[in-house]
Amino acid sequence: MGVNLPMKVANSHRNAFTRIAQAIILRQAIESLETSNVTIVLGKGRPRMDAETKTDDKQAEATLQIRRACADDIDYVIALDERITGLAKPNYWRDVIERYGQRRLEQRVFFVAESDQHPKSILGYVVGEVRAWEFGSGPCGWVIALSVDPDARLQHIGERLFEAITEEFRRNGVGTLRTMVARDNPLHMTFFRSEGMMAGPYIQLEKSIGMPAKNTTER
Amino acid sequence: MKLQIASRLAIYALLDLAAHPDRQVSVAEIGEKYGISTHHLAKVMHTLGRSNLVRAVRGAGGGYQFSGNAKRTTLLDIVQLFESFAQEEDEQSGIGGDTETNRALRQVLDEIDDIARATLGSITIATMLKLIDAHRLHDSNDVAMAAPNA
């Protein structure tokens, strides 16, 4: 449901309708990433989550296993990322699975959400890492990627992935979670806000130093 | 960032109503809680009603009830019912003209506006209610720590 602006207000706010309409369209996808209560059961480096049967939303929660990604998952992750971003990055993801799925696992996290009904059906993933002393910052857990299959929305998968990586970082002694979100991506921004994330003590700065990299092929 | 009074009143009222969506709350009750003139608040509620964020309930025990979607309505949606951002106002006034100085200043001010807009546009009423709960828990923990034997 959207917000109907009175005409008098719309006349005095020329771009308000456009912005609100865009925001509402994007927010209709937000619930793919929204919250639920889950119990996280952590085994030996292989977290598992038992979802409570919470029914406050009309859509049922997916029956999922959240587990560490393995090499066999990577083609599914590449396909899911390509569906969402429109850009295939096989080399990037093969590098990610090597670095985040196999080495220094006490600091690095690559979890996938797998459907219990359809094994090998990867419905989402989250990637992160504990980093310390960069930019003068003490240890904190960075979430560097979090995506959910657009067809598996409204099942709280994003929140379960977020909870899983949070718990993993906490288990490794980290007390702060950090991520970076595009300002013009209200879907992601609203999700992380709904998980309690606020602006941190750093501001990201950048400067153009030449021709922008083309965004159509993997580098 | 400073919000206009009408925007703040609207946010206060919507958060109160959304926290208890089954309850009807009168303008007088909200006004008393926040020390707001009921006359001013009534105009704000009228605008919120026209935007389908609240509905008026008539009769004894009547008042207003939240009728929006707390997970989809952001602070930006609410604020933009009552005010716009500085960029539009400057464009309308024509202050500064098309000079390099003005464009440079505009670039900096736009950066601030963009961040403010992105922040307000990413915080829903549901997220605000969670934030309020977190403050409430923090306050009660402070009280418990101040009086450990109470």
| CA pair distance A169, A164, nearest whole angstrom | 9
Question: How many beta-carbon pairs under 8 angstroms link A with B?
Answer: 85
What ipTM was assigned to the predicted interfaces of this complex? 0.80
Pick the residue of B46, B80, B87 with the most A CBs within 10 A to test the interface with A by mutation: B80
Q: Can you say how many angstroms the Cα of residue A71 is from the centroid of all Cα atoms in its chain?
A: 20
Does residue B77 sit at the A interface (CB-CB below 8 Å)?
yes
Q: Does domain B5-146 have CATH number 3.40.50.2300?
A: no
Distance from CA of A27 to the nearest CA of B (A): 6
Query: What is the domain partition of chain B in residue ranges?
Result: 5-146
> How far apart are the two ends of chain A, measured CA to CA in Å?
41
Minimum Cα–Cα distance from A198: chain B residue = B119
Distance from CA of B150 to the nearest CA of A (A): 30
Does residue B4 sit at the A interface (CB-CB below 8 Å)?
no
| pTM for this predicted structure | 0.75
| CA pair distance B46, B43, nearest whole angstrom | 5
List the structure tokens of A116.
């219990």
Determine whether A48 is exposed, middle or buried from the number of CB atoms within 10 Å of its CB (0-12, 13-18, 19+). Answer: middle
Helices and strands (H and E) in chain A: how many: 6, 7
Q: A1 and B122 in contact by Cβ < 8 A? A: no
- Supply the pLDDT for residue B32: 92
- Supply the pLDDT for residue A25: 38
Ramachandran sector of residue A136 (left: φ over 0; alpha: ψ -120 to 50; beta: rest): left
Query: What is the domain partition of chain A in residue ranges?
Result: 39-194
Query: Helix or strand or coil: residue A84?
Result: helix
Which residues in chain A are closer than 8 Å to B73, comparing Cβ atoms?
3
Name the β-bridge partners of A115: A64
Q: Does domain A39-194 have CATH number 1.10.10.10?
A: no
- Supply the pLDDT for residue A148: 95
- β-strand A140-148 against A177-179: which pairing, if any? parallel
Find out whether A111 and A47 touch, Cβ atoms under 8 Å.
yes
Residue numbers in chain B where pLDDT is lower than 70: 85-93, 148-150
Query: Helix or strand or coil: residue A85?
Result: helix
Phi, psi for residue A3 in degrees, rounded to 5: -115, 125
pLDDT in tens, B10-46: 999 999 999 999 989 999 999 999 898 899 999 999 9
Phi, psi for residue B25 in degrees, rounded to 5: -125, 135
Question: What is the per-residue DSSP string for chain B?
Answer: ----HHHHHHHHHHHHHHHSTTS-B-HHHHHHHHT--HHHHHHHHHHHHHTTSEEEE-STT-EEEE-S-TTT-BHHHHHTTT---HHHHHHHHTTT-S-HHHHHHHHHHHHHHHHHHHHHHH-BHHHHHHHHHHHHHHHHHHHHHH-TT-
**Sign of dihedral through CA atoms A189, A195, A201, A202?**
negative
Q: A4 and B52 in contact by Cβ < 8 A? A: yes
pLDDT in tens, A158-202: 999 999 999 999 999 999 999 999 988 888 999 999 999 999 999
Which residues in chain A are closer than 8 Å to B47, comparing Cβ atoms?
6, 9
| Residue A17 pLDDT level (bands cut at 50, 70, 90) | very low
Strands (E), chain A: 38-42, 47-51, 64-68, 108-115, 122-131, 140-148, 177-179
pLDDT in tens, A85-121: 999 999 999 999 999 988 788 889 999 999 887 767 8
Query: Helix or strand or coil: residue A206?
Result: coil
Does residue B122 sit at the A interface (CB-CB below 8 Å)?
yes
Half-sphere exposure of A201 (CA within 13 A, CB side): 7
Radius of gyration of chain B (CA): 19
